[in-house]
Structure 1
Amino acid sequence: MFHPSPDAVYGFAHARRLAHVASQHQQIEVWETPQLGKLFTLDGRPMTSVGDEFVYHECMVHPGALAHPEPKKALVLGGGDGGAARQLLMHPSIERIVVAELDEAVVRMAREHLADVHRGALEDARVQVVIGDAQHFVAATNERFDLVVFDLTPPDSPAATLYTAEFYAQLKAVLAPRAALSMHLGSPHYHAARVAGLLRGLRERFAVVDVMSAFVPLYGSQWLMALASDTLDAASLFRHDIEERLTERRIGGLRYYSAALHPALFTVSHAVSDKLDARS
């Protein structure tokens, strides 16, 4: 059973645990479920499932990558399951992806149990997996990245220091001139205060912050994500812009994101906006 907030609970009947690892950072579990196939959790929180990972990963990667004219380098913060890297590799201009994952045990788990999520991306020559604190990597690197994907656990976790003004300032130093970052925010129904706080922090640091929304079955809710940039505005792109770029880059086989969906992805209801505004 999952507890997204103190007054909510949901779960997947007949789930069977396949593996459990107590790493130095967290409790990692892999489950087999009739509804979503294999899924994994960190400290009891749902992270990724084979059955619906494409919803989250496609939204976290493609709107930002397509807004950029030619993304070459990407940094994934977290992302040890390889799902974000797999989506990034679809863009032919990508030359290098750094997956900065805190916990080596997560990567081992993904290689053993989640081949349907990463599909070999973790072994691709363009992908470098760096184990350790992502903040240390960002502070030490001289590279500049076109795309950054916050594929992390929430702020109330070992990733807490990566959701701060101090880290955003560090991160901006490694962003290329035309760069964008995507961040998952959480459920506006379960985590409204957290979502509002994350958006406030991004808007204090970036000129353009667009909110995306999708229902993710594993998370049991509508899920909000953000795209932040000083130069790119993915929400302003039209359907024909996305169609042209998908065709030019020969990107096919997507299961959720599409040119037709793109404008709707950036549409949030008045009820959700009001809920977030009340906590800003």
Structure 2
Amino acid sequence: MSAPAEGPGAGFVAEALSPDFGFYLRTARVLAERRTPLQHIEVLDTPLFGRAMRIDGCFMTSERDEFFYHEPMVQLPAVSHGNVRSALVIGGGDGGSARELLRHRQMARVLMVELDGDVPAMAREWLPRVSAGAFDDPRLELRIGDGHAYMFQADGERFDQIVLDLTDPFGPAVQLYTAEFYAACRERLNPGGVLSLHIQSPIHRSETLARIVASVRTAFAHVAPYFQYVPLYGTLWAMALASDRVEPTLLSPVEIDRRIAALGLRELKLYNGAMHQALLAQPNFVRELLARPAEPIRAASALQDPTLDPEACAAPRVLAA
């Protein structure tokens, strides 16, 4: 791991979101960097977002904008459920999703299964504002291992909420976006449990989004996509709640605010009753997209999307000094 240093890595850092567009950030320096057997992890210091983590050239999270992702990803499903006492996070090595789950005072246990142990290790050292003490909470159990393999283990462990806080669906991560995997998630949920996941962007990965939703719908009675602009991702981002019983669209702003107060959720930066409805509102182009037939992703079939090329993020790291 590199020592903090001025100079190397300073300049403009680019990320290609697709072959057709992307964005850049100014970076002051590279704070830390590791090449693990699985991936390339960097922590950069940026003037706009503070410390930010990239994996294989793609931005994952930052100190100053992470709540745009983590709060809706976790809280909309958790509050819609109303009484989450046990939760499983697959991925989520930066600790943000675990932090949001542990805000719930009735939460008894959160299990995080992260494939690469260097991700939580680097996040704990360099991004403590993201996890906000979650890694030291005795209710959190961190296991380093394969989340896909864990989901198919016959240990009978069940949860009220499962959060799939994953990298994008290319390479090994594809197997965590299949109809078969979502069926396994359903078997891991307690009655009335909720699954939360991100489903890509309707702007530049619309067909992949539609196929992920179709895949989740093979396993769950209710699937509710919702949408939030995430600054670090440079685009409108989509997430979804899946459940056999919970229907978040039926909950009023007043009821959501009542539940937030009852659950003791303080200092939320984004999520509230009005935002609950705003997140679930679907623009017409998204309604049209989700109304079209889409083929579920199966374990035996490849996901073809040119924007998901593993090299897509790998634009030159420094555009200009």
The answer to whether the superposition gives a TM-score over 0.5 is: yes
Residues 13 and 276 of structure 1, relative CA distance in 2, 3 Å threshold:
farther
Query: Retained in 1: the 8 A contact 2:34–2:40?
Result: yes
1:83-124, CA deviations, whole angstroms, 9 ceiling, x for partnerless residues?
A: 001000111111000011000000111111110000110111
Task: State the number of aligned residues.
Answer: 280
Residues 15 and 268 of structure 1, relative CA distance in 2, 3 Å threshold:
farther
Give the one of 149, 155, 164 matched to 1:136: 149
Q: CA RMSD in A?
A: 1.3
The 5 Å alignment of 1:149-160 reads 149-160=163-174
Query: 1:263 and 1:171 mapped to 2: Cα distance?
Result: 26
2:90 aligned with 1:63, yes or no? no
The 5 Å alignment of 1:1-280 reads 1-140=14-153, 141-277=155-291, 280=294
Query: Retained in 2: the 8 A contact 1:57–1:84?
Result: yes
Residues 271 and 67 of structure 1, relative CA distance in 2, 3 Å threshold:
same
Q: Compute the TM-score of the two structures, normalised by the length of structure 1.
A: 0.96
Query: 2:282 and 2:28 mapped to 1: Cα distance?
Result: 33
Matched residue type, 2:83 = E
Residues 275 and 168 of structure 1, relative CA distance in 2, 3 Å threshold:
closer
Matched residue type, 2:34 = V
Runs of 4+ in 1 over 4 A off after TM superposition: 275-279
Name the larger-Rg structure.
2
Question: Offset at 1:277?
Answer: 4.5
Structure 2: tracts of 5 or more residues without a match:
1-13, 295-321
2:242 partner SS: strand
Q: Counterpart of 2:4? A: none
Q: Compute the TM-score of the two structures, normalised by the length of structure 2.
A: 0.84
1:154-175, CA deviations, whole angstroms, 9 ceiling, x for partnerless residues?
A: 1113321111122122222211
Query: Retained in 2: the 8 A contact 1:239–1:263?
Result: yes
**Percent of aligned pairs with the same residue?**
41
2:37 partner SS: coil
Question: Offset at 1:254?
Answer: 0.5
188-197 or 166-175: which moved more? 166-175
Matched residue type, 1:68 = H
